[in-house]
Amino acid sequence: MAVKVLIRRNVSQDVEGKLAGLLREMRTLTMQRKGYISGETFSRFDKPGESLVISTWQSADDWREWVLSPERQAVQKKIDELVGTETTYEIFTYA
């Protein structure tokens, strides 16, 4: 069953430029993974710096394999260090 993963970040304006490159790297890696269907990135209209990525996967197991992969963890560590907080994740299935 397909799942949607909500990925939330709070980013200060002074690191947005540096973060953009890391997010492009993450998206490139993600698109090559088994089970990846699509992803959308949003910036919150009323709160600058808040972003939301909605990633769609064929299964929770596909997402889990990706989130635990060494290549993803390496890029995610750089993102969290740059942003100064951990990225949060929420996984949803279709009702």
Has this prediction a pTM greater than 0.85? yes
Express each pLDDT in 10-22 by its tens digit. 988 888 888 889 9
- How far is Cα 31 from Cα 20, in angstroms, rounded to an integer? 16
Domains (range + CATH), the chain: 3-93 (3.30.70.100)
The average confidence (pLDDT) of the chain is 93
Task: Kindly provide the residue ranges of all beta strands, DSSP E only, lying in the chain, ordered along the sequence.
Answer: 3-10, 36-43, 50-57, 88-93
Q: What residues contact residue 10 under an 8 Å CB cut-off, 6+ apart? A: 49, 50, 51, 83, 85
| pLDDT value of position 95 | 83
Written as six digits, the tokens of 43 are 């910036």
Express each pLDDT in 52-65 by its tens digit. 999 999 999 999 99
- How far is Cα 28 from Cα 85, in angstroms, rounded to an integer? 23
